[in-house]
Structure 1
Amino acid sequence: MHSNSNNACISAQDIQRYSRQLLLSSVNDEGQLNLANSHAVIIGLGGLGSLAARYLAGAGVGNITLVDGDIVEISNLQRQTTYNEMHLGELKAKSLYSELRKVNSHLNIRFKSLFADSNNLPTLISSATCVLDCTDNTQVRKQVNLATYQARIPLFIAAASGLTWQALNLPQNSASCGCYECLVNSIDIREDCMSQGVLGPVVGMAACHQATQALLFMAKGFDADIKWGQYLNGNAGLGSLQSFALPPSLSCEVCNDSD
């Protein structure tokens, strides 16, 4: 998955910058080099994507592509912590790019001020190590799921509404795990926070989980100690967390395709 040279080593500056996570066995020197060689594509740069991107940049993910065609509005500031009043009216992708460059100017960060769809997704994710779906629209999620499944690129999904948050890690190459289409076929998916409402920190909880899972994967690949194909449902008000396995659906048009 990664193209590290055995002779590659971490610079003294990087040891200083990443000292706290280098102490973790789930990262260590090898994982840090893997992070530097990884490419994360983040689709949707609202409360989920903007915060997840900040954590990925802080952790040293070497290549990050930011994808969103939206602009920053005042209603975003309640939960989208990376933006402030100075960003109002600006393109989210460009604003976030500028902020992340302040965190680590050595990373290869690119931004695409456009909305992901079935036409541009194959190109957007073509070189990705993994994809983070931070959108808030079921139809777009279906398109991201299809594109990543066809490209066999691991997908990390998160969502939040009301006081609850959800997350799902999909390997997109396993006969034992379903996909997002399977999930939609099996449960009633809540739509975006515009209709449901949401508390800002709840979005942050979802984004933090999503970023953690993606970082662990990029550091250690499929050897990482994370759960695949488990749909998590957290209730921030109750402090509860439930999960259930997501097996492939026999009627799924994506992952049960005989082709």
Structure 2
Amino acid sequence: MSDANMLSDEELLRYSRQILLQQIDVDGQLRLKQRSALIIGLGGLGSPVALYLAAAGIGTLHLADFDTVDLTNLQRQIAHDTTSIGVAKVDSAAARLKAINPHLNIRTYPQGLDADSLAAAVAAVDVVLDCSDNFSTRESVNAACVAAVKPLVSGAAIRLEGQLSVFDPRLPSSPCYHCLYGHGSEAELTCSEAGVVGPLVGMVGSLQALEALKLLAEFGEPLVGRLLLIDALSSKFRELRVKRDPACSVCGTTHD
């Protein structure tokens, strides 16, 4: 079994291009090896997130998705392939990730997560990546992250538009997901209803993975208090500042 307190010669070679970066170096790579992440959803966003985090040397990935692979998924969900149709997404993704990096430890949640199991799953990791496709799940994940004081990397994409932000309850100034979106809309469309282009979810998922690496290896400036908006039709990026709401019913300090 690999020693969590050191990098083997094989690991130093595997991650050498990453270790060359002064912002990461050996110390940052070792931090990645010692840390864990929970990915909620192994679809269009979760696929690139999982692939890049596994390749980067995260020690443990927790994968949560209750769904199975469908033919319509393959246009964008790059962790799966045609032979995976009908297979649980967590199992399909786990096999792919292990093929990329045999050092990776994986825990799967194929039944989805209810309130209690979600709270336990969030508390067990160092960072959570919300790659789900519905508002109610995002709200539940956000509340669990606030309660457990765990950073949340949240991404979304539909049609030709994407969004990305980081919510870090460890920081007093950080907003949470609810500060930004409030109660949302129960009529929110999904990709199966409105459509989405594959490279867009790949872009958002890749950026989510990058933000997670910054949080775990402790380098750079995570996207806290900022919302990145992506317009794929015109290839334009915009950034909005987001402040914490003192009256937020999830993370606020002034609500009853």
Is contact 1:67-1:112 (8 Å) kept? yes
1:118 and 2:105 are equivalent in the alignment: no
Contact 1:26/1:216 (CA < 8 Å) preserved in 2?
no
Matches for 1:93-104 after TM superposition, within 5 Å: 93-104=90-101
Structure-2 separation of matches of 1:169 and 1:243: 13
Q: 2:72 aligns with which of 64, 75, 87?
A: 75
Question: Counterpart in 2 of 1:225?
Answer: 221
Task: Provide TM-score, normalisation by structure 1.
Answer: 0.92
How far apart, CA to CA, are the structure 2 residues paired with 1:205 and 1:190? 22
Report the equivalent of 2:243.
247
Asked if the contact 1:163/1:198 (under 8 Å) is kept, the reply is: yes
Partners in 1 of 2:111 and 2:226 — Cα distance? 30
CA RMSD of superposed structures (Å): 2.0
Give the counterpart of 1:139 among 123, 136, 139: 136
Range 118-127 or range 152-161, more displaced:
118-127
Q: How does 1:80-229 map to 2 (within 5 A)?
A: 80-185=77-182, 191-220=189-218, 224-229=220-225
- Bigger shift: 156-165 or 107-116? 107-116
> Could you tell me how far 1:49 is from its partner in structure 2?
0.7
| Offset of residue 190 of structure 1 | 5.3
Q: Secondary structure at the match of 2:156?
A: strand
Q: Cα gap change, 1:186/1:144 in structure 2, threshold over 3 Å: closer, same or farther?
A: closer
Are 2:168 and 2:175, in contact at CA under 8 Å, matched by a contact in 1?
A: no
SS in structure 1 opposite 2:113? Answer: coil
1:44-83 equivalences in 2 (<5 Å): 44-83=41-80
SS of the residue corresponding to residue 15 of structure 1 reads: helix
**2:247 matched to 1:256?**
no
**8 Å contact 1:138–1:191 — kept in the other structure?**
no
- More displaced 10-residue stretch of structure 1: 178-187 or 35-44: 178-187
Q: Tell whether the 8 Å contact from 1:117 to 1:140 is kept in structure 2 after alignment.
A: no
Identical residues among aligned pairs (%): 37
CA contact (8 A) 2:246 2:253 kept: no
Q: How high is the TM-score relative to the length of structure 2?
A: 0.93
Q: CA deviation at 1:257?
A: 4.5
Gaps spanning 5+ residues in structure 1: where? Answer: none
SS for the counterpart of 2:164 is: strand
Count of residues paired in the alignment: 252
Q: 1:10-50 CA deviation, whole Å, 9 max, x = no partner?
A: 22111110011111122110000000001101011101112
- Residue 168 of structure 1 aligns to a residue whose secondary structure is strand
